Amino acid sequence: MLTKRYFIVSDIHSFYTEFCKALMDSGFDLHNKNHILLVLGDVFDRGPETIELYKFLKSIPKDRLILVRGNHELLYLSLLERYYPTESDFKNGTVSTFCQIANIDGVNSDYLASGLYIHHGTFYDRVTIKDYCQDAWNKVIDKVQKSEITDWVRSECWKNYYELDKYIFTHGFIPVKIKDGTYIPGLCYHLNDTKYFKYDPDWRQADSLEWGDSVWREGWKFYKNGFFKPESAKGKILVVGHQPSYYCRIFLDGVKYKKEENIDFGIYYSKELIAIDACTQKSGMCNVMVIDSVEKE
């Protein structure tokens, strides 16, 4: 029998320094063939160390790195398909990621933001970019399109979920079904009201659109309303990222934080749900969950 040690992280968001420190503190050894890194999505955006993080992840042998897709991987691919960034692409940090990858002198997210126009008053705000920024953005997009990082984000190494022993690992939540059978893709932002959904016993076979919506789900809310009960009845435990772990403490356990500095960003553990997103941009830390799994040699 062989013991494999899994190191689970989520929502690194290009904060390589904080991630690397937490990983090393947890005992991860890059050269130990029995150490496996499992990342629950949102590798890039927001932080300043996209290239360093990518190089580190690529240095891990393929059979010891498991990547689960998050919403920021989808944001990355979505921005590639457009000739301009939207306001949310700046807020989510995807423009910053692209600028880091392109590494063009004088072009950064602040420069591009200075040329962003938001036209309000329509159902979807229209966005244009001043001419002096459009040329710069075209150069950024061209470099990102040709980057090996883009090939990596597009590759089949990314999974929708991963199962290990009693654990189900995913980014936001498992896919759920619309109650009346009508599926409208692209409304994931507006459909976190659980009354519209029902548990899907065939969620493992969900299509790409359904998985694309699941990465945006508020996991604590769907868990609270019983959408994971059929799985927990089988002894399964759900492990998620996407939303800060302290959300679970607030909305599931009723914890009230009177001061921001008192917030507990550590891993949230309950009998059937584990949340590991440390909200690194805010907390300055990264969570690492460690699991040993005994496997046949």
Summarize pLDDT for 20-66 with one digit per residue, the tens.
999 999 999 999 999 999 999 999 999 999 999 999 999 999 999 99
Residue 259, H or E segment = none
* C-alpha to C-alpha distance for 99 and 257, rounded to whole angstroms: 36
Query: Could you tell me if 115 and 198 lie in one domain?
Result: no
Structure-token pair, residue 120? 């309000």
Q: Is residue 179 part of a domain?
A: yes
Asked whether residue 38 is assigned to any structural domain, the reply reads no
**Whole-angstrom Cα distance, residue 59 to residue 16?**
14
Is residue 167 pLDDT above 90, yes or no? yes
Other beta carbons within 10 Å of 5: 16
Edge-to-edge strand ranges of the sheet holding 167-169? 162-164, 167-169, 237-240, 273-275, 268-269
First-to-last alpha carbon distance for the chain, in angstroms, is: 6
For residue 183, what pLDDT is reported?
57
Distance set, CA 196 to CA 78, 204, 214 (Å): 26, 20, 14
* Same domain, yes or no: 172 and 231: yes
Residues 6+ apart with CB under 8 A from 260: none
Structural domain containing residue 84:
78-149
pLDDT tens per residue, range 103-136: 988 888 888 877 766 555 544 455 566 666 788 8
- Quick one: 206 and 277 in the same domain? yes
For residues 252 and 194, state if they share a domain: yes
Mean pLDDT of 134-145: 90
Could you list the beta-strand ranges (E) of the chain: 2-9, 35-39, 65-68, 116-119, 126-129, 158-159, 162-164, 167-169, 177-178, 197-198, 237-240, 268-269, 273-275, 289-295
Are 136 and 85 in contact by the 8 Å Cβ rule? The answer is: no
272 with 166, same domain: the answer is yes
Instruction: Compute CA 42 distance to the chain's CA centroid, rounded to the nearest angstrom.
Output: 3
Count Cβ atoms below 10 Å from residue 61 Cβ, excluding itself: 10
> Quick check: is 215 in a domain?
yes
Domain boundary among 122, 149, 176: 149
Residues 6 and 21: their CA atoms lie apart, in Å, by: 17
With bands split at pLDDT 50, 70 and 90, how would you rate the model's confidence at 293?
confident
**pTM given for the model:** 0.91
Same domain, 190 and 234: yes
170 and 272 inside one domain: yes
Helix/strand/coil percent split, the chain, to 5: 35, 20, 45
Same domain for 222 and 127, yes or no, is no
Dihedrals phi, psi of 62, to nearest 5 degrees:
-55, -35
Strand, helix or coil at 191?
coil
Residue 56 located in a structural domain: no
Q: Do 175 and 204 fall within a single domain?
A: yes
Domain identity same for 141 and 176: no
Q: Give the count of domains, the chain.
A: 2
91 lies in some domain: yes
One domain, residues 99 and 168: no
